[in-house]
Structures are given as structure tokens and as C-alpha cells.
């Protein structure tokens, strides 16, 4: 008889039994878990260094009592999804692309999640009726060139259900690109099966998978193999990272993450400034700190390792690049990666 497979840790008691928290924290974290979902997969639990009280993997997934300390500037919908949701499951913020939020569950629950008020076990996903209405919206809006599958995490769905959705999208002539945002290849790599890869390969469309990864240790041997299965099947991968205090807010860690992604044939895409989600202040850096980190990366790591540092403007106004500027206001001086200023001829 096969031994029982390890299960995800879903309660503070589970975390205590796994020695990821002390039992003295149980009462406080039960209050946190009552508000915000908890899930740590076996793959993630194996990455946590239990001897390090400041472990950067634990900091992302183990709940913290400070999550109940909200601030006035924080918002349950910090990037304004609801203001741009014409039908259930669709967010249409930009003219040529939409989000299709298939499911409200994830394999893991990040403590900084900007949709933390909306995701968790039992939150379900789109009903057949709601999914049909969302697909009809995409069909009737011919300016939609790209559909971004998100949630929650769409790769927690079965390969069969994903294939049904991608087949429907493949039949829409004006949709040319599918983009799938996920953490699954890093946090639950065993889910990236041949059937799942097949579900994401869309006939006559371009498919991209965007991996969310914040620390180089997340790219374990098994995670790299899962990513390779996607890439070797002809699905390009990009990566998005959230800048987090105590996780990746130092130049050495951030550079190591970007390099390991590129080594895995994954192009760093966005470095997100952390959103104003409730109870996440202890994980946010300042924009000035982020800009200084980008300055450090510039010129010291390959151009392949350079993500765009972006801020999702509160209220739903979209992403804006907020990286450092190297050109003077009059356009006559430009700064190199060593901080030295150089003249540039006036433009006619």
C-alpha cells in the first residue's frame, strides 16, 4: 500500500503541527485565518527553513497577526477590479485585453494578496451560466485581442475544465493571445502534467504562462522541471514578482531571482510595487526603495534580467512604470549605471 501523500497545511493548528509556528501564536493566528485564507502546499513547506525566524518563504505564506492591523489608505479592492467588471468574471480595464477570473481559489494563499478579500476555499468559481456570459462578452467585443486567465489561480482547475475554456477562446477569431497567470509551477509542480500542458496549448493562438515568483528558492528542482515541461511544449514563460519587505528587498536576492528565472528560460516581466491590500503594510516597501533597487540592477545584471517596476494605481486606473529616471529634465544630461552624468546634444 502506498504511503499517504502529504496534504496542504490549511489551519494554524496544521502549521503548529508542522513546526512552522510556535503554539504560542495559535490563538492570534486563528483570528487571522478567520479573515484570510491559509494554504501552504507540501512543496512550499519543504522550502521553509524552520531555524530562520525571518525565512523569506515563510514570510510570504505563514500568517502574521499584523494582517489584522489595517490602515486608512488600504482598500479591499486596491486596484479597482470591481469598477471595471461589466459582467461577472470579466475585468475590462484596458481596451485590447480583459481578465477572465475563472476561480476564486489558489494552491497557496499569499499574505500580501491584493484579492485576499475575494479568494479562499469555498469561494468557488464561475458557474456555467456566468462563464457563458463572460465568454459572450469576449465574443461581442471585437477589440479584445488578449485574454488573461486569472483568479485565484486558474491552474488549480482540472486539465479538462481548462481545456474546455481554452477551446472556447480559441474559436473566437479576434482573440489572438491567451495569457495564464499562476503560481502553480513553483508551489505545486506536480500539477503541471502532460494533460495540463495540452490544455494550455491553444490551436492557432499564442499562449503565454506568467509565473509569480518572489524569491530564488521558489525555483526548486521540481519547479524548474515543471516550467521546462511548459516551455519545451512551445509555451513561452514570463515572470512577475512582487517587491516585498524581508523577502526580496535587497539587491543580492532580487538579482539572484532574476538570474535564476532567465536560466530557466523565463523572462522577468513585472516587478510590482506591493498593493494597498488590507493588513499588508508590514510587507510593503517604499517606492524610493524600489527605485533604488532597480538602479542597482541596471548595468549590473543582464538586460534579460530587467523587469519593469510598476505600480497599479489605486482605483482601477491601471499600471504605470515607476522605475528611476536617468535623463535630466532638460534632456541634456544622462546618468550611467555607475551614477556618472554625461552630456547629451540638444535635440532639434
Residue (of 183, 180, 152) closest to 165 by Cα position: 180
Question: How many helices and strands in the chain, by DSSP H and E?
Answer: 11, 11
d(CA 345, CA 348): 9
Residue 169 has a CB neighbour count (10 Å cut-off) of 19
H-state helical runs in the chain: 12-17, 26-35, 42-45, 56-61, 128-140, 159-170, 184-187, 194-200, 221-232, 251-263, 287-297
- What are residue 311's DSSP bridge partners? 320
For the annotated catalytic residues, the residue numbers are: 93-94, 97, 106, 110, 113, 115, 275, 312, 319
Peptide bond into 187 cis (omega under 30): no
- CB of 218 closer than 8 Å to CB of 258: no
Size of the chain in residues = 348
Which positions ≥6 away from 25 have C-beta within 8 Å?
A: 12, 16, 65
- CB of 59 closer than 8 Å to CB of 246: yes
Residue (of 254, 277, 242, 311) closest to 71 by Cα position: 277
- CB of 18 closer than 8 Å to CB of 45: yes
Amino acid at each position: 500500500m502506498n504511503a499517504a501523500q502529504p496534504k496542504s497545511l490549511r489551519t494554524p493548528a496544521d502549521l503548529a503541527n508542522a513546526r512552522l509556528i510556535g503554539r504560542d501564536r495559535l490563538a492570534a493566528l486563528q483570528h487571522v485565518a478567520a479573515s484570510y485564507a491559509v494554504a501552504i502546499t507540501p512543496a512550499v513547506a519543504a522550502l521553509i527553513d524552520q531555524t530562520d525566524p525571518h525565512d523569506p518563504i515563510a514570510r510570504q505564506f505563514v500568517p502574521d497577526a499584523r494582517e489584522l492591523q489595517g490602515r486608512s489608505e488600504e482598500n479591499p479592492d486596491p486596484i479597482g477590479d470591481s469598477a471595471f467588471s461589466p459582467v461577472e468574471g470579466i475585468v475590462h480595464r484596458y481596451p485590447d485585453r480583459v481578465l477572465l477570473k475563472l476561480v476564486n481559489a489558489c494552491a497557496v494563499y499569499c499574505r500580501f494578496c491584493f484579492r485576499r478579500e475575494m479568494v479562499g476555499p469555498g469561494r468557488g468559481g464561475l458557474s456555467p451560466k456566468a462563464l457563458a456570459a463572460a465568454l459572450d462578452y469576449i465574443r461581442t467585443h471585437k477589440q479584445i485581442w488578449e485574454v488573461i486567465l486569472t483568479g485565484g489561480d486558474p491552474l488549480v482547475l482540472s486539465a479538462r475544465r481548462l481545456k474546455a475554456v481554452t477551446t472556447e477562446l480559441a474559436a473566437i477569431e479576434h482573440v489572438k493571445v491567451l495569457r495564464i497567470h499562476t503560481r502553480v509551477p513553483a508551489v505545486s509542480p506536480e500539477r503541471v502534467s502532460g494533460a495540463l500542458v495540452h490544455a494550455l496549448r491553444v490551436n492557432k493562438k499564442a499562449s503565454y504562462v506568467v509565473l509569480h515568483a518572489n524569491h530564488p528558492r521558489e525555483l526548486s528542482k521540481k519547479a524548474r522541471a515543471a516550467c521546462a515541461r511548459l516551455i519545451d511544449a512551445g509555451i513561452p514563460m514570463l515572470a512577475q514578482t512582487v517587491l516585498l519587505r524581508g523577502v526580496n528587498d535587497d539587491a543580492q536576492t532580487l538579482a539572484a531571482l532574476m538570474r535564476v528565472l532567465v536560466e530557466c528560460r523565463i523572462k522577468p516581466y513585472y516587478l510590482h510595487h506591493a498593493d494597498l491590500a488590507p493588513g499588508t503594510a508590514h510587507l510593503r516597501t517604499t517606492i524610493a526603495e524600489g527605485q533604488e533597487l532597480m538602479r542597482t540592477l541596471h548595468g549590473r545584471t543582464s538586460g534579460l534580467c530587467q523587469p519593469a517596476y510598476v505600480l497599479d494605481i489605486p482605483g482601477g486606473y491601471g499600471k504605470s512604470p515607476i522605475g528611476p529616471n536617468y535623463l535630466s529634465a532638460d534632456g541634456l544630461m544622462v546618468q550611467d549605471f555607475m551614477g556618472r552624468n554625461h552630456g547629451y546634444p540638444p535635440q532639434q
